[in-house]
C-alpha cells in the first residue's frame, strides 16, 4: 500500500497548528497540549523548531544528536478536540484524481497537524451512515494507525447527511472539518446545522473532480448514478453544459451560505490541486491553520 502522505509534506505540516477563533478553555477536561512555557512541567513530545517559537524551549541535547533544532512540548491545561468527517459515498469514488483518495489524503494532512501538536483527533467516515474510526488518536505515535485506518475504509453507497446529525451532536465544543462533494439526493444542510448547534468551529470543504467542475465531453452518453445505479440518456451540448455548471454553482453557493451562517469556514477544492496547496495555502488563507 502506498504511503498516504510523503515525508517532505509531513515535515512542512509540522510547522502548522489548528487555529480557533473563540476560547475553549475550561471545556476540554484539562488535557490540551501546548508549547506555552510555565503551564505544566510534564514533558509530552518533541517537534521541529519554527521561526517565532520560544527559543527557550529548544532541547540542546536533541540538537547535538540530530543537528537540528527541536522544541520540547509539555502537557498544558486544556485540549482542542478535532473531529474529521470524511464522505466516502459512491459519488466520491470518481474523478481523475479520484475524490475519495484525495479526501483521505486531505483528512490525513489535517489530522497530522493536530497530532504533531498533541491535540486529540477523532475520525468518522460516512456514506449511508457514519462509521467511527475508533478511539480518539493522540500524539505523533498515533499517526501510522490513523493513516492505516483511513486507507482501509471502503468507498460506496448512497449519501445520507441526516444520519450525521446524531454523531455530530454528541461532540463537545471544539473543531470539526467536514470533507464532502456535497452531492447526492439529500441536502448537506442538516449536518452543517448540527455543527452549529454543537458549537463547533472548523470548515466545510467541498471536494470535486476537475471533470465535474468543467465537463470535458460532448455528444450522446448513458450516465449512471454512482450511488443509486439509475441510468439516464444524456446529450452534452453547450446549452446543457451551461445549465449543469449553473446548477453546480447553485449547490456550492447553498453549502457555502449554510456554513457561513453557522460560523464555519468554507472552501471548494479540486482534486487536481496538490495536497500541499490545499493545506499550506487554502486552509491557512481560511484561517483554519496558522
For each of the domains in the chain, give its residue range(s) and CATH number, in order of start: 33-75 (no CATH), 82-286 (3.40.50.410)
What interhelical angle do 189-197 and 238-261 show, nearest 10? Answer: 10
Q: What is the per-residue burial (b if ≥16 Cβ within 10 Å, else e) of 215-252?
A: eeeeeeeeeeebbeeeeeeeebeeeeeeeeeeebeebb
Higher pLDDT among residues 204 and 26, named by residue: 204
pLDDT at 271 over 70: yes
pLDDT of residue 33 exceeding 60, the answer is: no
Q: What is the mean pLDDT of the chain?
A: 86
By CB neighbour count within 10 A (0-12 exposed, 13-18 middle, 19+ buried), where does 170 fall? exposed
Out of 39-48, 81-90, 106-115, 174-183, least confident range: 39-48
Tell me the pLDDT tens digit for each residue of 98-140.
Answer: 999 999 999 999 999 999 888 899 999 999 999 999 999 998 8
d(CA 223, CA 189): 26
| Residue pair 138/120 in contact by the 8 Å Cβ criterion | yes
Confidence (pLDDT) at 115: 92
Q: How far apart are CA 175 and CA 81, in angstroms?
A: 6
Question: Could you give the dihedral angle defined by the CA atoms of residues 9, 12, 17 and 21, in that order, rounded to the nearest 10 degrees?
Answer: -90
- Looking at residue 48, its pLDDT comes to 79
pLDDT at 255: 98
pTM, entire model: 0.82
Mean pLDDT of 269-276: 96
pLDDT of residue 125: 97
Rg of the chain on CA atoms, in Å: 20
Q: What integer is the mean pLDDT of 199-214?
A: 95
What pLDDT sits at residue 40? Answer: 53
Amino acid at each position: 500500500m502506498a504511503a498516504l502522505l510523503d515525508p517532505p509534506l509531513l515535515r512542512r505540516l509540522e510547522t502548522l497548528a489548528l487555529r480557533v477563533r473563540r476560547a475553549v478553555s475550561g471545556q476540554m477536561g484539562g488535557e490540551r497540549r501546548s508549547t506555552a512555557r510555565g503551564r505544566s512541567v510534564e514533558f509530552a513530545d518533541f517537534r521541529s523548531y519554527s521561526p517565532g517559537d520560544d527559543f527557550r524551549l529548544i532541547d540542546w541535547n536533541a540538537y547535538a544528536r540530530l543537528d537540528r533544532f527541536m522544541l520540547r512540548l509539555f502537557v498544558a491545561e486544556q485540549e482542542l478536540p478535532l473531529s474529521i468527517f470524511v464522505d466516502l459515498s459512491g459519488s466520491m469514488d470518481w474523478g481523475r484524481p479520484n475524490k475519495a483518495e484525495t479526501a483521505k489524503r486531505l483528512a490525513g494532512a489535517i489530522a497530522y497537524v493536530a497530532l504533531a501538536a498533541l491535540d486529540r483527533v477523532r475520525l468518522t467516515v460516512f456514506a449511508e451512515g457514519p462509521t467511527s474510526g475508533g478511539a480518539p488518536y493522540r500524539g505523533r505515535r498515533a499517526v501510522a494507525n490513523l493513516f492505516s485506518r483511513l486507507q482501509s475504509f471502503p468507498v460506496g453507497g448512497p449519501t445520507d447527511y441526516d444520519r450525521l446529525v446524531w454523531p455530530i451532536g454528541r461532540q463537545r465544543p471544539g473543531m470539526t472539518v467536514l470533507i464532502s462533494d456535497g452531492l447526492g439526493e439529500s441536502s448537506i444542510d442538516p449536518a452543517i446545522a448540527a455543527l452549529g448547534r454543537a458549537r463547533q468551529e472548523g470548515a466545510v470543504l467541498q471536494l470535486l473532480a476537475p471533470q465535474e467542475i468543467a465537463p470535458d465531453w460532448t455528444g450522446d452518453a448513458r450516465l449512471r448514478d454512482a450511488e443509486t445505479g439509475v441510468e439516464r440518456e444524456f446529450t452534452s451540448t453547450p446549452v446543457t453544459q451551461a445549465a449543469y455548471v449553473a446548477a453546480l454553482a447553485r449547490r456550492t453557493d447553498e453549502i457555502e451560505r449554510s456554513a457561513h451562517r453557522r460560523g464555519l469556514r468554507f472552501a471548494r477544492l479540486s482534486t487536481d490541486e496538490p495536497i500541499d496547496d490545499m493545506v499550506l495555502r487554502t486552509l491557512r488563507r481560511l484561517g483554519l491553520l496558522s
